[in-house]
Structure 1
Amino acid sequence: MSWPSTEDEAVAEQLRLRDLVEDQVPDGFAPRTVAGLDVHYTDVGTAAVVVLELATLEVVDQAVVRGTVDFPYVPGLFAFRELPLLLPALDRLTVKPDVLVCDGQGIAHPRRFGLACHAGVLTGIPSIGVSKSAFGGYLAPGPNRGDWTRIEDDRWPLGRALRTRENVKPVFVSVGHRVDIDTATDLVLRLTPRYRLPETTRLADQLSRRG
């Protein structure tokens, strides 16, 4: 597929695709596998996808793709740097994931169409964004694992600040595509039995760095 080459083209593409986002899970949704996606940058980009069995969090598949990154870093247009490498990595998998967990935003985005939305719409796979930083305002959640508060922008709900470890900084969860915020929250808690970040994110980051 062809990708936008300018900032204006990229913004227009986000606006064109954002109405395709679905904020409800498909009928019969019962995920068994979940994939983490990440890109590491050196002189080239290294995209990694790691698929885990949700019940055990064991790795069942993984793929790596390296290549040049042509689109510049522009806040709000992160997907145009990462997806040209991540989508080919997804295509190399032999186990199709039931959910994508993106290291970035979903609808918590200036145009309500972050990396997780973009990945989900293009693949048709339910997706969620789990970011290390918030887009929008929020009150600190309670100190216990599972505590959360809403992330809002001008009173528009964008996601949740979710505490995954007791007294540790929350992660920031938002809907990507074909998922609702309650389901996204539950999945993130299932993926964080020991650490602040989901196992999907941690393992994809490690794989991208190893290359």
Structure 2
Amino acid sequence: MRLHPRHSWTVTPEEAVAIQKRLRAEIVSQPLDLDAVRLVAGVDVSVKENESQAAVVVATYPGFEPVETVLARAPTPFPYVPGLLSFREGPVLEEAFARLQSEPDVFLVDGMGTAHPRRMGIACHMGLWLERPTIGCGKTLLVGRFSDLPEERGAHVPLVHRGETIGAAVRTRARTNPMFISPGHLADIPSAVEMVMRCSPKWRLPEPIRLAHKAAGAFVPGGQASSPAPSS
């Protein structure tokens, strides 16, 4: 898959913050055409003993049958700093994305989009690399507040930070902790929430991310990543 890199990943935390502030102006918020989606990708990275493995699983939509799984592995290049996840996971994700043979219509990323202090989470950042619609699917709250959320599946309320709606707290499964959903690039909040709900028929995690999470975590540090062949 052709990528569109914007900068080097070899930066200091201070330089990383400046890059996020600069790139924020490039993010496009627009409705995602859900009816045009045929392939959806789940994106996740697992880190063990300072080694990162990225997984991108492309699945049919709405059936969620895997058609391609790509893995990439590399030393983890950046310290854990809240709000700078893309600089920790971006290099290995770039390698995985470059190996993709499929052309997904939308990418669901384990991490934040605009629900980020500088509105530039990893889903936004990698959306610029991909120039495809991306959606951030956070499991834990990074920034913002939300009001009481009903317990039933599909309930959602705005996630607000400094007076700005930056995403939504979404109950993807009844009586479980919410997911924190926000658009990355080429999506908006309503269509991001709807896409995530359509991709979460059974579990708390959207199915594409659940598949990627399983693939990313299945490695022993010190080995080599081996991507399965595309399914026929």
Deviations 1:66-121 (A, max 9, x none): 11111111111000011100111011111111111111111111111000000101
Partner of 1:126: 133
Q: For residue 194 of structure 2, what is the aligned residue in structure 1?
A: 186
Counterpart contact for 2:53–2:92, Cα < 8 Å: yes
Return 140-149 or 60-69, whichever deviates more: 140-149
Corresponding position of 1:92: 99
Report deviation, 1:28: 9.3
Amino acid of the structure 2 residue aligned with 1:2: S
Q: For residue 54 of structure 1, what is the aligned residue in structure 2? A: 61
Aligned-residue offset at 1:139:
1.3
SS of the aligned residue for 1:177 comes to: coil
Code of the aligned partner of 2:116: H
Which residue is equivalent to 1:15?
21
Distance 1:17 1:122 in 2: 11
Equivalent runs, 1:10-159 vs 2, <5 Å: 10-25=16-31, 30-43=36-49, 44-134=51-141, 135-159=143-167
1:26 shift after superposition:
6.5
The one-letter code matched in structure 2 to 1:188 is V
Q: The residue matched to 1:141 in structure 2 has which SS?
A: coil
The 2-side partners of 1:99 and 1:210 are apart by: 24
User: Helix, strand or coil for the counterpart of 2:169?
Assistant: strand
- Cα deviation code 1:136-157 (max 9, x no counterpart): 0001321211111100012210
Indicate the RMSD between aligned Cα atoms, in angstroms: 1.5
User: What SS does the aligned partner of 2:67 have?
Assistant: strand
Residue 172 of structure 1 corresponds to which residue in structure 2? 180
- Note the residue ranges of structure 1 that are not aligned, 5 or more in a row: none
Q: Aligned pair count?
A: 211
Shift of 1:25: 3.5
The match for 2:170 is 162
What is the Cα deviation at residue 122 of structure 1?
1.7
CA distance in 1, matches of 2:201, 2:35: 22
Moved over 6 A (4+): 26-29
- The answer to whether the 8 Å contact 2:151/2:175 transfers is yes
Instruction: For 1:25 and 1:4, locate their aligned partners in 2 and report how far apart those are by CA, in whole Å.
Output: 33
